[in-house]
Structure 1
Amino acid sequence: MTQHDSHSLGNVHNTVTTENKTGWRKIMSFLGPAYLVSVGYMDPGNWATDLAAGSQFGYKLIWVLLLSNLIALLLQNLCVRLGIVRSLDLAQVSKHTYPRFVNFCLYVLAQIAIIACDLAEIIGMAIGLNLLFGLPLIWGVSITLLDTLLLLLLLNKGMRKLEGFIISLIFVVGLAFLVQMFIVRPHVIDIAKGFIPTQLNNQALYIAIGIIGATVMPHNLYLHSSLVQTRKIDRSDEGIRKAITYNFWDTTIALNLAFFVNAAILILAAAAFYYRGYHEVAEIQDAHKLLTSIFGKLAPALFAIALIAAGQSSTVTGTLAGQIIMEGHLNLRIAPWLRRLLTRMLAIIPAFFTILHAGSEGLGKLLILSQVVLSLQLGFAVIPLIHFTSDKKRMGQFANSMPMKIAAWFFAIIIVALNVRLVIQEINDWAGNSPSAANLVHFVITPIAAGIGLLLLYVFIRPMLYKHSNQPVYVPHGIAATLDNLEAIQYKQIGITIDFSKNDQDTIRHALMQGGKEADYNLIHIVETAGARYYGKQVMDNETQSDVDNLDKYVDALVKLGYNARAKIGFGGPATAIAQIVKDNKIDFVVMGSHGHKVLKDLIFGTTVNEVRHRVNVPVLIVKPQKK
């Protein structure tokens, strides 16, 4: 029997075993979640900001990359702590802390961030395909819709297969840049000087905030707090402490690899362009052309391959984050492929318009803008995260220590302050462009910015004002109710879905076990022909007549065995028709055979079982086919 799973990423929750393992096997069982998170730190959006930083300022902004990496390390480890200790992701805790309207606003802002991230991945994939195969950008953008199939395949194979796929792509990206470092031969002493902080002018600030937004991505905070829950751990204090430690090393290794890739891109841009007098290379295509003219064919080919790998790996993790955010903030769960398709369509629209109106030149600017949007949303994820992990009542001995709280709030203040400065700077620039732009800024943009600012202030203040001291600590499924009535339930009307496959016998057998000879059995079959969908009960084609005859044979066999059985034929969409029969005949229990479809068939035919569960208000028993 199935029920709605309230765990984060419920289909893979606690699916990776870590118990009863020692030594390297124990360590390896925890490695994985941070690598899925780290791909967001080296996606095509990072490339645009790193290329701009390296070509315009040489090695001078490497310290911003290092600062971003330190911020990311701290925040991602707070996410690990939250997910392991409370068994909740960041969105779920927000849902139980803030009012419904605020949660809706937080969801909208997080969704905008995911769309901005997805936009960067679309552009990166399209540019990579264009550079490697000469495929037009407009076709490259269209092809990115097909990654929905890849996501379904990976999710169906389990969490370890997904992690293995992502790690292999990271290896491709890292190896490509390692080879390129030997080709460009950067200035080692100047690189070392780049780690010393310098004052930022307006142009450098814009790029620096883009780097922070591209590195410390808000959706990664939601993602990591959920992914750590895929590990099945010992829930004792010692077991939790060890899990936090193992995940700390997983995070440290993965994010330092991401830092290496980002630094390599910036160093590549500085060595290849800045020191050769090319100071305005923010376009990925321009970087590829210059690499070709300076270093021949190997470096640009590696550049394009790494770009495709980075884009494809990031799009998978972006989908998981979108699912976590929707389920956590809104308690709304939809099929992963539909979630992926909706997000991708929302990101493809601006990419299409940019290509059509601004050409390939506009894509680079759109990439950097998408990363600035990510940075602007960071405060709405970072501030609640610090509050939740500092809550001693709910986190217990694993709450943030005072030094950790000081460091976290310090970084949060830096992020918010830089974003406020950027917003004010951009609003002033827009207002100064023309009188019409000034009116738009004063009457539309400024009120929206002020409203978002007030929302951020509320998100910061509310957890301090409402400590919920008299409320019980939230647990994922609520507080257990008193079990005072456990008498067996006698079902009177049982529905059995029939598809005339080898699974029917098992489905009927399980149904008979539920009701015995006292219940009435309704054998349900849905005719799905084109005629049935258009004409319903009026159709009587060859397939329909054959189905009616076969269903009657099942009914006759059950009657001869002493059971009360009758046939129920429906027409059209299976889920809708089954739900209607259940309602019309007052069926109080449904038994369904799982069709056992794999990835492609699920995408084409749909998952009838899940649709029926959400359409009926009675228990549903799902019988999986027996392996012979």
Structure 2
Amino acid sequence: MTQSQMGTMAEQGWKFTGSVPDRESLSEVHASVRVPKSGSWVRKLFAFAGPGYMVSVGYMDPGNWATDIAGGSAFGYTLLSVIMLSNLMAILLQALSARLGIATGRDLAQACRDHYSPPVRICLWIACELAIIACDLAEVIGTAIALQLLFGIPLVIGAVITALDVFLLLLLMNKGFRFLEAFVVSLLSIIALCFIVQIAMAQPPIAEVLNGFIPKSEILTNKEMLYVAIGIIGATVMPHNLYLHSSIVQTRAYERNDEGRREAIRWATVDSTVALMLALFVNAAILIVAAGVFHAKGHTDVAEIEQAHQMLSPLLGFAIASTLFAVALLASGINSTVTATLAGQIVMEGFLRLRIPDWARRLITRSLAIIPVVVVTYLYGDKGTAELLVLSQVVLSMQLPFAVVPLISFVTDKRKMGRFVISKPVAVLAWVVAAIIIALNIKLLWDTFSG
């Protein structure tokens, strides 16, 4: 079989079923963003920039905050190397997700539907929906906590208010996908600015910070440190992001031929890599602030978001410090709920081909997350909400293999990817990363359920 024949195979669809998608992924915005056919690399970069930043939102959502705060307050800057390692893993997996979407014209959910038998794909769909609900739980809780910290709004009411972002998403999508990307990037800028100011207030020792990015053997030998490290990695790579990225890269109107796809893959990889470096900065900044403020002053048991918010201003001596922390949390929560809701639409359409109104589909996805938060908060108060946040991260860990393994198996299959199949060294690296993530998540689950 020639390379051109393999390229045609990837273009036409999954040869195992002989089918092609009856609807493009996110058809309302598919190929809606213009891409210049000529011009400087800056114009090309700007045209393709956006999807990576939407994906990066999932790597700095409220579910990550608790593990970063706990790691910084308990062990100082030591676990910065773990944040860096998990971010490098995420860069590789997101690049593979973008490659799948561009090379095959399918998002990961559509690819699973076209490849697997009905029982298997139904199981994968259920696993993915559970992951999205779990991710949504963390984001709804984070947003509700931020509204409580900033405005004194009770958690139950704050959780209900998060349903409004469904209509915000509809408004932005109706204006065009670029408006949605601009909104997300604006909130990311607010998050980054808030932590830049907080780091300036904390004035952490630069030498110790840089030393923290060097891996230490004590991370593996210290059981408590290893547990937090596993939590950081387990909370970093989000299953729904792999589905999301493989879809939204197709919003670009690149040429649907080999040359156009090759260029799109290259720029999409640059976009996601740069955006995930921003996520690395934010996650590292949360840990650095926790280390520089709490650990350095003897408060090594700070692990909850509300506790960190209460202690920041008194310890730093700046009244605005806690406010900036809450503002960043609110921006993170809003951003994360918007992208997770969009991922829910992609998964539901890709696996089930359901055709229901956009507002109804998104409201269903959001309701599945809001209802447990409201019920638990009403029955058990703030403590129950904190435990629900932990449970959401455990559920996410359980679902991760159901997204990572299909993704890597697809991009390493020449019959599906044609000339865009990844090289053997990259394939080996991808399977090693998958094995590490799965092994660490299994240990995290074991430790969680064994107490």
Change (3 A) 1:333 1:276: farther
Give the Cα separation in 2 of the matches to 1:294 and 1:287: 10
* Residue pair 2:220, 2:226 contacting (<8 A) in 1 also: no
Matched residue count: 426
Aligned residue for 1:120, secondary structure, equals helix
**Residue of structure 1 aligned with 2:31, choices 1, 14, 17:** 14
Please list the CA deviations of residues 131-184 of structure 1 after superposition, one character each: whole Å capped at 9, or x if unmatched.
111222222112112222211111111101110110001000001101110001
Give the Cα separation in 2 of the matches to 1:242 and 1:222: 21
Q: What does residue 75 of structure 2 align with?
A: 57
Please list the CA deviations of residues 540-560 of structure 1 after superposition, one character each: whole Å capped at 9, or x if unmatched.
xxxxxxxxxxxxxxxxxxxxx
Give the Cα separation in 2 of the matches to 1:416 and 1:20: 41
Change (3 A) 1:227 1:127: same
Please list the CA deviations of residues 565-614 of structure 1 after superposition, one character each: whole Å capped at 9, or x if unmatched.
xxxxxxxxxxxxxxxxxxxxxxxxxxxxxxxxxxxxxxxxxxxxxxxxxx
Change (3 A) 1:44 1:428: closer
Shift of 1:194: 2.0
Aligned residue for 2:333, secondary structure, equals helix
Please list the CA deviations of residues 492-536 of structure 1 after superposition, one character each: whole Å capped at 9, or x if unmatched.
xxxxxxxxxxxxxxxxxxxxxxxxxxxxxxxxxxxxxxxxxxxxx
Identify which range, 358-367 or 16-25, moves more after superposition. Answer: 358-367
Matches within 5 A, 1:468-483: none
Give the Cα separation in 1 of the matches to 2:83 and 2:363: 32
Aligned residue for 1:232, secondary structure, equals coil
Q: What does residue 340 of structure 1 align with?
A: 362
Q: What does residue 46 of structure 2 align with?
A: 28
* 1:228 is aligned to 2:246: no
Change (3 A) 1:26 1:428: closer
Give the Cα separation in 2 of the matches to 1:274 and 1:22: 51
Residue type at the aligned position of 1:287: A
Aligned residue for 1:16, secondary structure, equals coil
Residue type at the aligned position of 1:281: V
Residue type at the aligned position of 2:276: L
Q: What does residue 252 of structure 1 align with?
A: 273
Q: What does residue 278 of structure 1 align with?
A: 299
Please list the CA deviations of residues 89-118 of structure 1 after superposition, one character each: whole Å capped at 9, or x if unmatched.
111111111111111111111111111111
Give the Cα separation in 2 of the matches to 1:396 and 1:339: 34
Q: What does residue 18 of structure 2 align with?
A: none
* TM-score computed with the length of structure 2 as normaliser: 0.91
* 1:304 is aligned to 2:315: no
Residue type at the aligned position of 1:65: I
Give the Cα separation in 1 of the matches to 2:225 and 2:398: 17
Residue type at the aligned position of 1:363: T
Give the Cα separation in 1 of the matches to 2:167 and 2:254: 32
Identify which range, 20-29 or 256-265, moves more after superposition. Answer: 20-29
Residue type at the aligned position of 2:98: V
Give the Cα separation in 2 of the matches to 1:41 and 1:91: 20
* 1:387 is aligned to 2:409: yes
Q: What does residue 155 of structure 1 align with?
A: 173
Q: What does residue 145 of structure 2 align with?
A: 127
* Residue pair 1:283, 1:361 contacting (<8 A) in 2 also: no
* Residue pair 2:105, 2:250 contacting (<8 A) in 1 also: yes
* Residue pair 1:41, 1:258 contacting (<8 A) in 2 also: yes
Give the Cα separation in 2 of the matches to 1:81 and 1:149: 31
Give the Cα separation in 1 of the matches to 2:221 and 2:24: 44
Change (3 A) 1:279 1:362: farther
Give the Cα separation in 1 of the matches to 2:43 and 2:113: 36
Change (3 A) 1:345 1:207: farther
Change (3 A) 1:110 1:88: same
Residue type at the aligned position of 2:444: L
Aligned residue for 1:12, secondary structure, equals coil
Aligned residue for 2:28, secondary structure, equals helix
Shift of 1:332: 1.7
Matches within 5 A, 1:539-558: none
Higher relative contact order (CA 8 A, sep 6+): 2
* Residue pair 1:125, 1:140 contacting (<8 A) in 2 also: yes
Give the Cα separation in 2 of the matches to 1:209 and 1:102: 29
* Residue pair 2:234, 2:437 contacting (<8 A) in 1 also: no
Give the Cα separation in 2 of the matches to 1:322 and 1:366: 20
* TM-score computed with the length of structure 1 as normaliser: 0.66
Q: What does residue 240 of structure 2 align with?
A: 219
Change (3 A) 1:421 1:345: same
Q: What does residue 266 of structure 1 align with?
A: 287
Give the Cα separation in 2 of the matches to 1:144 and 1:68: 29
* Residue pair 1:120, 1:370 contacting (<8 A) in 2 also: yes
Aligned residue for 1:317, secondary structure, equals helix
Shift of 1:354: 3.2
Structure with a larger share of its residues in helix: 2
Shift of 1:243: 1.1
Please list the CA deviations of residues 231-286 of structure 1 after superposition, one character each: whole Å capped at 9, or x if unmatched.
11123322222111111110111000011001000111111111211122111111
Structure with a larger share of its residues in strand: 1
Change (3 A) 1:330 1:254: same
| Larger radius of gyration between Structure 1 and Structure 2 | 1
Identify which range, 27-36 or 207-216, moves more after superposition. Answer: 207-216
Give the Cα separation in 2 of the matches to 1:5 and 1:167: 32
Give the Cα separation in 1 of the matches to 2:165 and 2:446: 38
Aligned residue for 1:199, secondary structure, equals helix
Change (3 A) 1:369 1:194: farther
Give the Cα separation in 2 of the matches to 1:102 and 1:297: 54
Matches within 5 A, 1:131-530: 131-195=149-213, 196-197=215-216, 198-199=219-220, 201-295=222-316, 296-429=318-451
Please list the CA deviations of residues 21-68 of structure 1 after superposition, one character each: whole Å capped at 9, or x if unmatched.
411222211111111111111111111111111112221211111111
Residue type at the aligned position of 1:311: G
Residue type at the aligned position of 2:34: T
Shift of 1:293: 1.3
Aligned residue for 2:442, secondary structure, equals helix
Give the Cα separation in 2 of the matches to 1:225 and 1:404: 18
* Residue pair 2:202, 2:289 contacting (<8 A) in 1 also: yes
Residue type at the aligned position of 2:281: F
* Residue pair 1:118, 1:318 contacting (<8 A) in 2 also: yes
- Give the unaligned 5+ runs of structure 1: 430-628
Give the Cα separation in 2 of the matches to 1:78 and 1:105: 23
Change (3 A) 1:377 1:208: farther
Give the Cα separation in 2 of the matches to 1:162 and 1:123: 23
Percent of pairs identical after alignment?
A: 54
Please list the CA deviations of residues 330-387 of structure 1 after superposition, one character each: whole Å capped at 9, or x if unmatched.
2223222222222222212332233234422343333233223212211111111111
* Residue pair 1:211, 1:371 contacting (<8 A) in 2 also: no
* Residue pair 1:210, 1:368 contacting (<8 A) in 2 also: no
